[in-house]
Amino acid sequence: MTGVFDLTGRKALVTGGSRGIGGAIVDIFAEYGAAVAFCHYNDGANAGSRVDRLRAAGYAAHAMECDVSVEASVANMAAWANDALGHVDIVVNCAGIGGDKPFSSITVSDWDHMIGVHLRGTFLVTRSFFEGMIQRSYGRVINFSSQLAYKGAPGLAHYCAAKAGIVGFTRALSYEGAPKGVLVNAIAPGPVETELLMGLSDEWRAMKMAELPIRRFGKTNEIAPTVLMLASEAGAFYAGQTLSPNGGDVML
């Protein structure tokens, strides 16, 4: 059964791939045979070191800076990815931001930025590659939501709204893609030990830790294998689904 996870010959684009969960996805995709391009935002040092390490190990890896909330930036990144890889079979929309605020303190700018990176970014990046996948009758789109799309959380109304939107987007687009060989699914992880989580307040993290049945935060290498499954032939019967490695925070 190990062959069903093989990505040899596949071309993957991962947003937010310089570190955190995105970085773990880049690594596991490369290890399982994919040529990988990833984008980052203002994280050139981490991106460069990841590319150097992967290339030194004999893997095909490429990196570029991109603001996924900006249409022109995404268009440039998409052209670069297609040039670097030839085409893109797999898109993982993993770029994200955090930050907790009481609802009364959330400004329009805060709201627009959160929605822009998560929901608008997922739309813009997916749109850049979706038609090519349809034309080739093959593709995988894997979007990153959150368990908070289902559960909600104090201080994260803007984040939860963006992540819930991604679940709806995933389901709707799956109806268009699946009959033509393009499978669209999502991941809704629980709290994972990343810089995004560490950017939340100590009080928020303590509250969340106490809620988790598993009594710890996740690790990036505990999320990446779920993405690998959806990207590979092991995930060939998944369409419009949102999988939830979340330590029991939400039990669907």
Q: What is the pLDDT of residues 186-226, one digit of tens each?
A: 999 988 888 777 777 788 788 888 888 988 888 999 999 99
The pLDDT score that the predictor gives to residue 204 is 77
Q: How many CB atoms lie within 10 A of CB 165?
A: 18
The pLDDT score that the predictor gives to residue 26 is 98
Rounded to an integer, what distance in angstroms lies between the CA atom of residue 213 and that of residue 1? 31
Enter the pTM of the model. 0.95
Please say if the pLDDT value at position 60 is more than 80.
yes
Task: Give 125-180 pLDDT, tens digit per residue.
Answer: 999 999 999 999 999 999 999 999 999 989 999 999 999 999 999 999 999 999 99
Establish if 66 belongs to a structural domain.
yes
Establish if 114 belongs to a structural domain.
yes
Establish if 73 belongs to a structural domain.
yes
Clarify whether 175 is annotated catalytic: no
Higher-confidence residue of 8 and 200: namely 8
Task: Give 38-48 pLDDT, tens digit per residue.
Answer: 999 999 999 99
Which strand (E) or helix (H) includes residue 133? helix 121-136
The residue range of the domain holding 128 is 2-243
Domain containing residue 32: CATH number: 3.40.50.720
Establish if 251 belongs to a structural domain.
no
Stretch 36-61: mean pLDDT: 97
Rounded to an integer, what distance in angstroms lies between the CA atom of residue 91 and that of residue 128? 10
The pLDDT score that the predictor gives to residue 211 is 84
Establish if 181 belongs to a structural domain.
yes
Rounded to an integer, what distance in angstroms lies between the CA atom of residue 168 and that of residue 148? 14
The pLDDT score that the predictor gives to residue 197 is 74
Catalytically annotated residue among 41, 59, 150, 159 = 159
| CB contact at 8 A, 95 and 44 | no
The domain tally of the chain equals: 1
Q: How many CB atoms lie within 10 A of CB 82?
A: 17
Going by pLDDT thresholds of 50, 70 and 90, the confidence category of residue 2 is low
The pLDDT score that the predictor gives to residue 102 is 95
Task: Give 93-135 pLDDT, tens digit per residue.
Answer: 999 998 889 999 999 999 999 999 999 999 999 999 999 999 9
Establish if 248 belongs to a structural domain.
no
Establish if 252 belongs to a structural domain.
no
The pLDDT score that the predictor gives to residue 95 is 97
Q: What are the tokens at 217?
A: 């935060």
Name the residue among 45, 43, 42, 47 with its Cα closest to residue 27.
Answer: 47
The pLDDT score that the predictor gives to residue 1 is 52
